[in-house]
Amino acid sequence: MATKLRARTHRRISPTSESRLVQWILIGIAFVFMAIILLMPLYAVFHEALAKGLNTFFAALVEKDAQAAIRLTLLVAAIAVPLNVVFGLAASWAIAKFEFKGKAFLITLIDLPFSVSPVISGLVYVLLFGAGSFLGPFLKSYGIEVLFALPGIVLATIFVTFPFVARELIPLMQDQGTGDEEAALSLGANGWQTFWRVTLPNIKWGLLYGVLLCNARAMGEFGAVAVVSGKIRGQTTTMPLQVEMLYNEYNATAAFALASLLALLALVTLVLKSALEWRYGDEIAASGK
């Protein structure tokens, strides 16, 4: 017994830590994996986009259909993201601050878009608003086109991106509880004042993360939008759809030029997030995020 104990005394690293070698191997695997899966494709996109020089690159971006695709993508995001912010706030408020029947079911529903293939989400809207459905012809008689038009694209995008804000806020709001709100009310604040001055500042960082992720996904969504858009060039093609169409037409440079714009958006999102974390690190830590 005594000898067994003595044999261990030479180990000087903490019991929860691994040896140097194991540490380096794990870190190495992580980096190599990142390089192959993330960095190489990113490099390939920019390389291919700039292969025929900057002039061709910019020409591809200012082309009429490309411009239409960029405008449509921005418009869809500008509608879908604010709506999802409102929905996400309402849902996480309800889930975190009230007790009601069907709460667990609501949480499951919020996760549904994550677990359903985007193509299925698109098809659901085709079934709902298509020519053979009840709603489609009804709305059409009032002159409202949903399928193969902006409303359909927006609906599909909202469906696919709605968990992002809610998922970010629910744990944060549950963690914070209702103490601050009760304090504000006891000090005489009304509901709006409590929301704007106490609740919203408490969750602003979580909300911002949610919005950034939601926005990135809204602009990049392909599957669901592809099904409902009808891919009418210059009218219902978003950036990801346009990229695919250009690529299928063997116009690689134009396809990658547009793709690089999307990739740039992802990079900007990432940089923005890191910059915020760096600049407001203390405050984010203090807000319990």
Partner 1 sequence: MEVRVANVRKEFDRFPALHDVSLDIRSGELIALLGPSGSGKTTLLRLIAGLEMPTAGKIFFGDTDASEKTVQERNIGFVFQHYALFRHMTILENVSFGLKVRPRSSRPPAGEIRRRAMELLDLVQLSGLEKRYPNQLSGGQRQRVALARALAIEPAVLLLDEPFGALDAQVRRELRKWLREIHDRTGHTTVFVTHDQEEALELSDRLCVMSQGKIEQVGTPDTVYDHPSSPFVFGFIGESSELPVTVENNELWIGGRAIGVPAGDTPTGQSRLFFRPHDVDLVEGDAALAGVVTTSRRVGGTRRVELEIGGDGHRVEIDLPFDHPAGEKSRIAFRPRRWTLFPA
Q: Which residues bind partner 1 (CB under 8 A)?
A: 179-180, 182-190, 193, 197-198, 201-202, 283, 286-288
Task: Determine contact, residues 117/167, Cβ cutoff 8 Å.
Answer: no
- Cβ-based nearer residue to partner 1, 100 or 250: 100
Closest CB 194 distance from partner 1, rounded Å: 9
Instruction: State the Cα–Cα distance between residues 261 and 63, nearest whole angstrom.
Output: 14
- Shortest CB 248 distance to partner 1, Å: 50
> Would you say 65 or 180 has its CB closer to partner 1?
180
Other CB atoms closer than 10 Å to residue 193's CB: what's the count? 13
**Least CB distance to partner 1 at residue 102 (A):** 15
Which token pair is 78?
A: 């500008």
**Least distance in angstroms from the C-beta of 196 to partner 1:** 10
Q: How far is the CB of 273 from partner 1 (least distance, A)?
A: 20
Indicate the residue among 19 and 178 with the shorter CB distance to partner 1: 178
Q: How far is the CB of 282 from partner 1 (least distance, A)?
A: 9
Distances (CA, A) of 136 to 140, 147, 172, 199, 236: 6, 8, 40, 40, 18
User: Alpha carbon of 257 to those of 38, 61, 73, 252, 275: distances in Å?
Assistant: 18, 7, 16, 8, 26
The token pair that represents 281 in the structure block: 């690190």
CA atoms of 278 and 38, how far apart (whole Å):
23
Nearer to partner 1, 41 or 288 (CB): 288
Q: Are 147 and 157 in contact (CB under 8 A)?
A: no
CA 142 from chain center: how many Å? Answer: 34
Nearest to 220 by CA among 134, 149, 118: 118
If the CB atoms of residues 48 and 180 are measured against partner 1, the closer one turns out to be 180
**Which residue number, 63 or 180, has a Cβ lying nearer to partner 1?**
180
